[in-house]
């Protein structure tokens, strides 16, 4: 179910909301959140609910293990075993076929004539028939796996006290607002709100929730999906693009991706508030960043902070020799790249950002003396180049796009160029100069002008959705 | 503030918000149509009206008509502008058919007629492709359309890609009687937002299913079991064959060479659950046919198409055999997606080249 679908807006959300606030005690609310989470998730494919339930059960048991055992070995077992299970599930669904095809390429490259199967096939039920097909990536698996792993690690480190309440934990994992595309919420960040859910005040957070939701709705539907109308066909015809067309496509994608994901995050945060759960921010105007380190403090904040806490710091962080810090940065970003998808283009994208962070670390003192517009402009440009690898279906396409962008060549432009330029200008202003929802909703109090503004945004977005412009969120694929 | 004033205030705010939602929605729908589909902001939009014209003799495409991504030229054909008279040395190929040929779901410029045009122009061949298909055209209507309009464009080859499913309707199709006075009237003011909502609601899976159930119950009430097509109705196949033959003869009489193309269909037995769902939904148009009869009828019509071609000594292209059952090529049961269109164009381009070069050789 998509946030930007009629079934969600007019059926699921009103029912979920009304029933939730009718329930009076905390356990009933946990159970209701679990039910809604599974209905929301099962709408794509009910079979994947089993996977999420299994992952939940494993991590919950690990939490109970931490509560029961004091011994070092037992606690280590409670850490390693469930994480291994979670990673195996993620690895199978997300990386098995990628690994297979990479292995095949490697074998071919070294001259071994071994033919591996093209893909791992899994059984599935088509009605009453058992059939086989390629592995399908369960939507949002990377996100909820991160939720469960962060819970286990934090419990092991003693950062959180694991919950004994199964439904509280299940509600945390399956919370529909952040289930399939984040933000990656750590248990400690919403633990208090979850525990106080029984006494939560419906009206206190509703205005902020509605404001966040409408803001995100506009970012997604009005901006990201409108840009997608230009960007998707342009990338499909990447071979025919002119230099101007290629720049248009890549710049368009730069803002499409941002507004798509930031829009989703704002909607998720808004939904969280509506249910009395304050989900932390995930984007803070990343295209206003002035250096790579600043960029990662603003882009997908929940992921970058997880990468920092669960990878970079355990690798050694910036403790120890300088070269080790660079190694840790590169490793963290490579894994971060691979987390986004089973493709070498994501690995390259991760390595590229690792390199940017390393360069910045080396030259920060000189870099920081440059005027802000130059630093912001350069950082934006660097991010744009990175998105070429992020978007391209393979390395060859990425290189071709970069070549088209930097070696002038004739070819096709975007359709309706005037509309595209206007849209790009609005997106650029909104993303690089304008305020973000967190600025707008700080100390928020509802006034009549908000009714007018958000009703207008909602109406306009509905009209576009009704016209067939409700594409899935880009980050669902991760 | 008393409870009553509070309630009144909430009510007024609610009404105000609803009014703003509707106004903003209408404004955005029109702006969106203008920005992305080039539809004038204040124009009234109606697919049938914008794309079809009833003249005194037949129904045809509306000159310079456009609706969303569909754009017609000065003569009411989908595609680039042409001149009425053929230019010297240029061969003309006309495509006749219904929505499958017109191109319904393909992205702009990816309907198979357009791909053919691009491919031929890429290789510099002096061939002009005219996509004369009109959505919803049955064979008898196509014949009237050919005789009164398309035949005047001097086609060398005429590819006929008929839609057999019309023959599963309550009654076999007949030529549409044009109603210029009624049909060509300006359309009344309509909300585009409402139009979008109606279309969107119709796409919701369970609403679709409910509509099918309602239509089936309504259509079947008071009729006995024999009204349902439990198997392929032989008389309808026969009627299809006769109508196709009549159209091909009309084309041949005008001095053009007809080429018959068998119809391709998405689902072939063994049916997947998805196939059965789609076949069931398709019954909203053809309530007399059981789901499995629909593809079977299509296959029978493909055979009949070849029989007609053989009997008339006309060429044919069998699209049914290589494309039917390839679910990845279709957007619904009968209409191609971009990939399907590409495959169809690949299939047609060879025979077009061969037949045109044969014609040149004969002369």
User: In Å, how far are A17, A266, B67 from A14, measured between CA atoms?
Assistant: 5, 19, 35
Do A467 and B35 lie within an 8 Å CB cutoff? Answer: no
Residue of B nearest to A459 (CA): B21
Kindly give the residue spans of alpha helices, DSSP state H, lying in A158-285.
Answer: 166-174, 187-195, 202-217, 225-236, 243-274
Q: Are strands B52-54 and B127-131 parallel, antiparallel or unpaired?
A: unpaired
B/e letters for B137-155, b = 16+ CB within 10 Å, e = fewer, are bbbbbbbbbbbbbbbebeb
**pLDDT of res. A5:** 86
Residues 398-437 of A with CB under 8 A from B: 415-416, 419
Name the residue with tokens 């963290």.
Answer: A332
Interchain proximity B196–A233, CB inside 8 Å: no
Give the HSE-up count for residue A394: Cα atoms under 13 Å, Cβ half-sphere.
Answer: 3
Q: Do A452 and B20 touch (CB under 8 A)?
A: yes
- Tens digits of residue pLDDT in B312-347: 999 999 999 999 999 999 999 999 999 999 999 999
Using a CB-CB distance cutoff of 8 angstroms, which residues of chain B are in contact with residue A468? Answer: 200
With CA atoms as reference, the chain A residue closest to B14 would be A451
Q: Is A458 on the interface with B (CB under 8 A)?
A: yes
Residues in chain B: 363
pLDDT of residue A471: 62
Q: How do A129-134 and A121-126 pair as beta strands?
A: antiparallel
Give A91's DSSP letter: I
Give the whole-angstrom CA distance, residue A83 versus residue B69: 51
A·B CB contacts under 8 A: 78
Handedness of CA A45, A51, A55, A61 (dihedral sign): positive
Taking phi over 0 as left and psi of -120 to 50 as alpha, with beta for the rest, B109 belongs to left
Is B35–A419 a contact, with Cβ atoms under 8 angstroms apart? yes
CB A147 within 8 A of CB A184: yes
**Under an 8 A CB cutoff, do A463 and B201 touch?**
no
CA–CA gap between residue B212 and residue B281 (Å, rounded): 6
Could you tell me the mean pLDDT of each successive run of 10 residues in chain A, 478 residues long? 87 95 92 95 86 92 91 90 90 78 78 71 62 71 88 91 92 88 86 87 87 92 92 86 93 95 93 92 93 94 90 87 90 89 87 94 92 95 94 89 92 86 95 84 79 92 85 58
Residue A340 falls in the annotated catalytic set: yes
Report yes or no: B36 and B27 within 8 Å, Cβ to Cβ.
no
Residue B149, CA distances (Å) to A433, B81, B261 in order: 58, 16, 21
For residue A328, what are the contacts with CB-CB under 8 A and spacing of at least 6?
A: A312, A315, A316, A317, A318
Identify which of A225, A244, A224, A245 has the alpha carbon closest to the alpha carbon of residue A236.
A245
Selecting from B16, B28, B108 the residue whose C-beta is nearest the C-beta of A460 gives B28
Interface touch A455/B17, C-beta < 8 Å: yes
pLDDT of B202 reads 82
Measured between CA atoms, the residue of chain B closest to residue A10 is B201
Q: Which chain A residue has the Cα nearest residue B26?
A: A463
**pLDDT attached to residue B91:** 92
B295 vs B3: CA distance, rounded Å: 64
**Which residues in A lie closer than 8 A to residue B106 (C-beta atoms)?**
none
Extract the tokens encoding A88: 């195996």
pTM of the model: 0.80
- Taken in order B308, B313, B314, B320, the sign of the CA dihedral is positive
Substitution target in A210, A225, A459 with the highest count of B β-carbons within 10 Å is A459
Written as six digits, the tokens of B277 are: 């769902």
Beta pairing class for A121-126 and B52-54: unpaired
Give alpha helix (H) positions in B47-152.
47-51, 99-102, 112-122, 139-148
pLDDT at A133: 64
**Whole-angstrom distance, CA of residue B280 vs CA of residue A430:** 47
Q: Does residue A113 belong to the interface with chain B, where contact is any CB pair within 8 Å? A: no
Token representation of residue A22 = 């009718």
Checking DSSP bridges between strand B157-161 and strand B91-97, what pairing results, if any? parallel
**Residue B269, min C-alpha distance to chain A (Å):** 14
Among B33, B59, B36, CA closest to B48: B59
Residue B208 burial class via C-beta count within 10 angstroms: exposed 0-12, middle 13-18, buried 19 and up? middle
**Considering only CB atoms, which chain A residues are within 8 Å of B38?**
416
């Amino acid at each position: 179910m998509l946030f930007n679908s009629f079934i969600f807006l007019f059926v699921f959300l009103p029912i979920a909301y009304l029933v939730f606030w009718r329930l009076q005690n905390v356990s009933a609310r946990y159970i209701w959140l679990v039910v809604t989470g599974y209905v929301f998730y099962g709408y794509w494919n009910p079979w994947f609910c089993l996977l999420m339930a299994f992952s939940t059960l494993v991590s919950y048991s690990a939490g109970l293990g931490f509560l029961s055992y004091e011994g070092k070995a037992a606690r280590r077992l409670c850490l390693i075993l469930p994480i291994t299970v979670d990673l195996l599930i993620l690895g199978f669904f997300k990386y098995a076929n990628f690994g297979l095809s990479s292995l095949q390429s490697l074998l071919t490259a070294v001259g071994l004539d071994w033919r591996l199967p093209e893909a791992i096939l899994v059984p599935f039920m088509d009605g009453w028939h058992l059939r086989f097909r390629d592995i399908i990536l369960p939507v949002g698996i990377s996100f909820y796996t991160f939720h469960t792993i962060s819970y286990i690690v934090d419990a092991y480190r003693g950062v959180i006290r694991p919950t004994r309440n199964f439904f509280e934990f299940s509600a945390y994992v399956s919370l529909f607002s952040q289930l399939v595309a984040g933000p990656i919420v750590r248990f400690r960040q919403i633990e208090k709100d979850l525990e106080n859910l029984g006494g939560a005040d419906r009206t206190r957070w509703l205005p902020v929730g509605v404001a966040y939701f409408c803001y995100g709705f506009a970012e997604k539907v009005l901006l990201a999906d409108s840009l997608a109308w230009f960007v998707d066909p342009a990338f499909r015809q990447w071979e025919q693009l002119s230099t101007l067309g290629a720049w248009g496509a890549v710049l368009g994608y730069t803002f499409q991706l941002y507004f798509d994901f930031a829009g989703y995050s704002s909607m998720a945060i808004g939904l969280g508030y509506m249910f009395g759960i304050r989900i932390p921010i995930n984007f803070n105007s990343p295209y206003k960043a002035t250096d790579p380190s600043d960029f990662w403090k603003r882009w997908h904040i929940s992921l970058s902070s997880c990468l920092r806490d669960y990878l970079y710091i355990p690798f050694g962080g910036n403790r120890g020799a300088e070269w080790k810090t660079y190694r840790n940065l590169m490793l963290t970003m490579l894994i971060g790249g691979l987390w986004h998808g089973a493709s070498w283009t994501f690995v390259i994208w991760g390595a590229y950002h690792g390199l940017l962070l390393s360069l910045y670390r080396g030259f920060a003192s000189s870099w920081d003396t440059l005027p802000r517009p130059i630093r912001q402009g350069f950082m934006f440009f660097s991010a744009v180049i990175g998105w070429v690898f992020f978007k391209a279906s393979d390395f060859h396409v990425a290189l071709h796009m970069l070549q088209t962008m930097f070696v002038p060549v004739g070819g096709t432009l975007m359709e309706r160029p005037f509309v595209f330029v206007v849209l790009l200008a609005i997106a650029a202003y909104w993303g690089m100069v304008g305020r973000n929802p967190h600025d707008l909703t700080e100390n928020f109090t509802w006034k009549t002008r908000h009714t007018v503004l958000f009703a207008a945004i909602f109406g306009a977005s509905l009209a576009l959705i009704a016209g067939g412009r409700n594409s899935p969120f880009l980050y669902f694929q991760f | 503030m008393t409870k009553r004033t509070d309630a009144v205030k909430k009510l007024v705010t609610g009404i105000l918000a609803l009014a703003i939602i509707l106004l903003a929605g209408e404004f955005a729908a029109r702006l969106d149509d203008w920005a992305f589909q080039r539809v004038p902001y204040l124009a009234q939009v109606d697919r049938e009206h914008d794309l079809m014209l009833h003249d005194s003799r037949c129904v045809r495409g509306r000159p310079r008509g456009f609706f969303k991504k569909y754009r017609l030229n000065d003569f009411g054909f989908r595609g680039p502008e042409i001149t009425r008279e053929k230019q010297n040395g240029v061969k003309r190929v006309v495509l006749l058919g219904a929505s499958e040929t017109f191109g319904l779901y393909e992205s702009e410029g990816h309907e198979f007629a357009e791909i053919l045009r691009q491919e031929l122009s890429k290789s510099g061949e002096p061939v002009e492709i005219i996509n004369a298909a009109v959505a919803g055209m049955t064979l008898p209507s196509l014949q009237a359309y050919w005789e009164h309009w398309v035949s005047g464009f001097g086609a060398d080859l005429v590819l006929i890609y008929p839609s057999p499913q019309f023959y599963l309707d309550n009654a076999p199709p007949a030529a549409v009687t044009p109603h210029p006075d009624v049909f060509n009237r300006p359309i009344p003011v309509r909300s585009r937002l409402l139009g979008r909502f109606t279309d969107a609601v119709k796409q919701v899976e369970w609403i679709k299913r409910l509509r099918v159930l309602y239509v089936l119950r309504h259509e079947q009430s008071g009729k006995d079991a024999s009204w349902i097509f439990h198997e392929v109705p032989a008389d309808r196949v026969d009627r299809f064959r006769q109508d196709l033959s009549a159209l091909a003869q009309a084309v041949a009489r005008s001095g053009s060479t007809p080429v018959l193309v068998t119809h391709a269909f998405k689902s072939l037995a063994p049916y997947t659950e998805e196939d059965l769902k789609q076949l069931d939904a398709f019954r909203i148009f053809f309530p007399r046919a059981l789901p499995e009869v629909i593809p079977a009828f299509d296959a029978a019509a493909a055979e009949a198409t070849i029989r007609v071609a053989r009997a008339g000594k006309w060429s044919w292209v069998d699209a049914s055999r290589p494309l039917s059952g390839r679910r990845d090529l279709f957007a619904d049961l009968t209409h191609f997606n971009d990939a399907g269109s590409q495959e169809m164009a690949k299939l047609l381009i060879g025979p077009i080249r061969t037949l045109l070069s044969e014609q040149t050789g004969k002369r």
